[in-house]
Amino acid sequence: MKETRLGEFEEVILLLVGILEEDAYAFKISDEFEAQTGRSVSIGAVHSTLNRLSEKGFLNSEMGASSPERGGRRKRIYTITALGHRVLTEAKDFRVSLWNQFPGLANG
């Protein structure tokens, strides 16, 4: 899993892209990140991660619609690819399997 490994931040961003659906562009994602985690993050940091995830093939992107508060500029909307989905699932399964082996909390 060397190239497809996800960092914690990457995983959260990937999930947020999934949650936000057609609103998944850098500003909204960073806004949502701050709302959900209470941690502040710069748009640049989010953008850089989105860019990296796209390079790894977990995200696709295309230019979307423009809006007046953006000065008429378009936004880049990100969507999760099939590979991205699989990596997210693997990450989750891996955690679950670890939780199941954790004696203090294993239910059984």
Tokens of 68: 């007046």
Give residues 71-90 in contact with other proteins (rule: CB under 8 A): 71, 73-76
Contact flag: residue 56 with other proteins (CB under 8 A): no
Angle between helices 8-20 and 43-56 (to 10 degrees): 90
Interface with other proteins, residue 15, by CB under 8 A = no
Distances (CA, A) of 43 to 40, 50, 79, 81: 10, 10, 18, 22
Give the tokens for residue 36: 């959900």
Distance of alpha carbon 10 from alpha carbon 50, whole angstroms:
8
Q: Which stretch binds other proteins (CB under 8 A): 3-11, 43-51, 79-87, 94-102?
A: 43-51
> d(Cα 86, Cα 105) in Å, to the nearest integer?
27
Interface with other proteins (CB under 8 A), residue from 5, 19, 37, 44: 44
Is residue 25 involved in binding other proteins (CB under 8 A)?
yes
- Size of site (CB under 8 A) for other proteins: 23
The structure tokens 């936004």 sit at 75
Does 95 engage in binding with other proteins (CB under 8 A)?
no
Q: Under the rule (CB under 8 A), what is the footprint of other proteins?
A: 25-27, 30-31, 42-45, 47-48, 51-52, 63, 66-67, 69-71, 73-76
